[in-house]
Structure 1
Amino acid sequence: MSEPLAQVQDAQWMCLPCGHVYDPAHGAPEQGIPPGTRFEALGPDYACPVCGVGTDEFEAI
């Protein structure tokens, strides 16, 4: 059973290869992404700041 959409949108997202966690509440200021930016809004150019993989390698946690 999948999680309700609202819970997934507000979830933290973990990079599967390296374990880095993107938290929408904090954003990624070092990459110019302000706090409150949902994972879905990061766009196709977002890359993990640790290992460089794209959003397709992240999973909601």
Structure 2
Amino acid sequence: MAAPEQMWQCQTTNCGYIYNPDKGDRKGKIGKGTAFEDLPEDWKCPICGASKKAFRNLGTA
């Protein structure tokens, strides 16, 4: 499992989706092993559609 500093959580109301690089994002066609920082700038949360700016790094919690 990825370390907390490699995982990012969506901060929008009622979402809480966690991007885990070990899993990628099948819906967004993001392969396993893709770091959050390497996601395309136009990538959106697969649950609520929020932009990358709505995510916070879990390692800084």
Q: Which TM-score band applies after superposition, normalised by the shorter structure?
A: 0.7 to 0.9
| Structure (1 or 2) with the larger CA radius of gyration | 1
1:39 and 2:36 correspond: yes
Q: Distance in 1 between matches of 2:26 and 2:57?
A: 20
Larger RCO: Structure 1 or Structure 2 (Cα < 8 Å, ≥ 6 residues apart)?
2
Please give the root-mean-square deviation of Cα atoms over the aligned residues, in Å.
Answer: 1.3
Q: State the secondary structure of the residue aligned to 1:50.
A: coil
Q: Distance in 2 between matches of 1:30 and 1:52?
A: 12
TM-score under structure 1 length normalisation: 0.79
Give, in angstroms, the shift of residue 44 of structure 1.
1.1
Structure 2, unmatched stretches of 5+, are none
How many matched pairs?
A: 53
| 4+ runs deviating over 4 angstroms | none
Among 5, 13, 22, the residue aligned to 2:8: 13
Question: 1:23-34 counterparts in 2 under 5 A?
Answer: 23-34=20-31
Task: Name the counterpart of 1:55.
Answer: 52
Structure 1, unmatched stretches of 5+, are 1-6
Corresponding letter in the other structure for 1:38 = A
